[in-house]
Structure 1
Amino acid sequence: MESRKACWYSIVRYCANELTGEVVNVGVILHSIEEKALIKYQLISENSPKIRAITDSQVEVNIYKTFKDALEYYMTKNTENLLGIVGDVQIGSLMDEKFLDKLYEHYKDKKLFLSRPKFSLTRNLEGVFRSLFETYVGISYLETEHKEVSTKRLLKGLFEEKKLLDRKVMQDFSITPIKDLDIIKINIDFGYKNGVWNYLQAIPYIGGPSKNTEWLAKTKFMFENIENDTKVHLMYKSSNIENMEDFMGVLNYLSSLDANRILKLDLDDTRKVLELCDVIERDAHDIDELLIS
C-alpha cells in the first residue's frame, strides 16, 4: 500500500473593498516535499461570478487580476530557481517545508491573502486538492476554471516560449465595438495585427443552456459590431470537451456567419497552433508600432 505523504495547504482569499470587508475564497495552494517538491494551485478567473459580485468596476476587477497574475507567475517561475528567486522577489524555496508559511507572511494584510497553512497526511495529493477546492471555492469553479484557464494558459505559455507575448501579441485588453459608446466593452484574451486585427478568444466551459445562450449571444454581438475585416479565432481543447456534438454545433453556427472571419483553433492540433505562431512571427506588427500609431 502506498505510504501517506505530508502536505500543507492554504486557501487563497480576496477582499476587494476594505470598507465592506467582504471576503471570498478564490483559490487553493497545496505544497508537499515528499519524494520531490510539489506545488499545486488554482485561482478563479477575474471573470468569475464570485469576483464580479464583490467588485463595482472594471478597475477593481483588474486589481484582482493583477494580484492573481503576480501570484501565478511567481508560483510558475519558482520551480526554475532552488532559492525561490523570481525577478526581485524572493519568498522561499519549494524545497523548504515552510514555503507556504513564508508565502502566507508575504501576502499578509494585502487584498489577496492566504489562510494560515494547515498540515495533512494523505495517499492522494490530487484527491486532497480537489476536495479542498470543492469545499472552499466550489466544484463549479473547479470544472469551469480548469478548462478555460488551461486553454488560455497553454497558449500564453507557448507565446512566451516563442517570445511573441507583449512583442507581437497583446493579452487581456478591452475593445469598444460600438463607436461613441465607451460603456460597452468586450474583453479580448489575445490579439495581434497583420494588416487586420485577429482576436483569439478562449471558449469557456458551458455548463447548461442558460450559460450556453449567454456566451453565444455575447460572441455573436462582438462579431456583429467589430470592424468588417477583423478575424476572431475561437480557442478550445477538444480533449476537454464532454459533448463534442453539441459543442461543434455551436461553433459551426458561428462559423456559418462568416467562415473567413470566424475561425476554429483547437489547441490539441499542435501543427495548426505552431503554424499560427509562424504567421504571427512573420506577419504581425510589433506592439510598439501599434501603440505609437
Structure 2
Amino acid sequence: MARIACKFAVIQYMPDVIKQELINVGVVMHCPEQGILKARFLKQLQKITKIFTSVNINEYRNFKNIFNRHLKISSKELIDSKLNVPTSLIEYLDSFSEIELPKFIIKKPQPMLTENPLQKLDDLFNLYVFEEDRIDKREQPFVNTVWEKFKGAGLEKFIKKEIELPDFPITIDYGYQNGQLNLIQPIKFTDQFKDNFKEGLMWKDAIEIKNRSESYKDSPFYAVVKPPANPQKVGFSLALDQFRDYEGVEIVKYGTRQFNEFLDHIKEHGHELH
C-alpha cells in the first residue's frame, strides 16, 4: 500500500496564563491527496480533572466547538482542488489563528508519511495526548451523568444538545421545547470557595446576556446543580445567589425528588425533536 503525505499539529491549552503551563489536548491532521482534514481531542479532560476548574472546562469545550465548526466549514474548500484555496495545513492553521483564542496554541505542523491516516491520527493522539483506555471509568463528568438520567427516563427524543447563546462564549448543555426553548445547564460545584464563587458569577453573566437576546430572553433557565460535600464551608449558597433570583431561573438539585419531578415534567410537556 502506498504511503500518503500528510501533516499534523498538536493542539495545546494554557489553563493559567500566569503559570504558563501548556497541556496537550488534541491533534489535527491534513492529508490533501485523500481529502482528509480531521482533529481528535480529549473528550472530557478526565486525565487532568484535578487541576482544572469548571471555568477551564467551559473554555475548553467552547474551543472544541469553535474549532470543529471551523473545521467543518473549511474542510470542503481545503480538499477541493478545483478551488483556488489553501491546500496545506500550514496555510489552514494560519487562517484559523485569526480567531482570537489566546489560551490555545497550535504547534508548528510536522510532515509525515502513512498508509492509514485515520489510524495514524489515533496513534498520534495516544502519543502526544494520552491513551483513553487508561481513564478511570468509575467517574464521569456531571454533564454526562445528567444525560444518563435523561436517557434512563426515555427523554433522548426531547433533549437538544449544545445550545449557543449569542455573544456568549459558552454553550448551554441541554434544552427542550414546549412552545419555547427551555435551557438546562448541569453545574457541579467543587470544594473550593473561590471556584464556586466564580462559577456563580459566570452563570450570572450568561443569564444577563440571555435576557438581552431577542431569541432567548423568554427562555426559562434550569440550573441542575450538584452540591459539594460541605455546602456551607465552600460557599454553595453564595454561588447560587449570584444568579438564582433572576426571572425565569429555577434551581433543580440533582438526586432529589425535585429532580425526578423535573424529568417527569419534560416527558409530559416536552416536544419531540425533528
Report the TM-score, using the length of structure 1 for normalisation.
0.48
Q: Distance in 1 between matches of 2:10 and 2:123?
A: 12
Q: Distance in 1 between matches of 2:78 and 2:8?
A: 20
Which residue of 2 is the match for residue 129 of structure 1? 121
Q: Which runs of 5+ in 1 are unaligned?
A: 85-91, 158-163, 186-195, 201-220, 232-259, 264-274, 279-293
Which residue of 2 is the match for residue 44 of structure 1? 42
SS at match of 1:95: coil
Q: Which runs of 5+ in 2 are unaligned?
A: 149-155, 163-173, 190-194, 200-219, 225-252
SS at match of 1:39: strand
| CA RMSD in angstroms, aligned pairs only | 5.1
Is the 8 Å Cα contact of residues 32 and 39 (structure 1) preserved in structure 2? yes
Q: Provide the aligned length of Structure 1 versus Structure 2.
A: 189
Amino acid at match of 2:38: K
Q: Distance in 2 between matches of 1:4 and 1:142?
A: 30
Q: Distance in 2 between matches of 1:50 and 1:107?
A: 27
- Residues 1:63 and 1:32: Cα distance change in structure 2 (over 3 Å): same
Deviation at 1:130, TM superposition (A): 0.9
CA-to-aligned-CA distance 1:167-210 (integer Å, 9 cap, x gap): 85567723589xxxx9599xxxxxxxxxx99999xxxxxxxxxx
Greater relative contact order: 1 or 2 (C-alpha under 8 angstroms, separation 6 or more)?
A: 2
Identity of aligned residues (%): 19
Amino acid at match of 2:262: T
Which residue of 2 is the match for residue 7 of structure 1? 6
- Residues 1:19 and 1:41: Cα distance change in structure 2 (over 3 Å): same
Out of 259, 271, 277, which is 2:273 matched to? 277
Moved over 4 A (4+): 80-84, 103-109, 141-145, 164-172, 182-185, 196-200, 260-263
Deviation at 1:11, TM superposition (A): 0.7
Which residue of 2 is the match for residue 71 of structure 1? 67
- Residues 1:52 and 1:98: Cα distance change in structure 2 (over 3 Å): same
Q: Distance in 1 between matches of 2:47 and 2:6?
A: 28
Q: Distance in 2 between matches of 1:42 and 1:171?
A: 28
Structure 2 counterparts to residues 83-232 of structure 1, below 5 A? 93=85, 95-96=87-88, 98-102=90-94, 105-106=97-98, 110-140=102-132, 156=161, 173-175=185-187, 222-224=254-256, 226-231=258-263
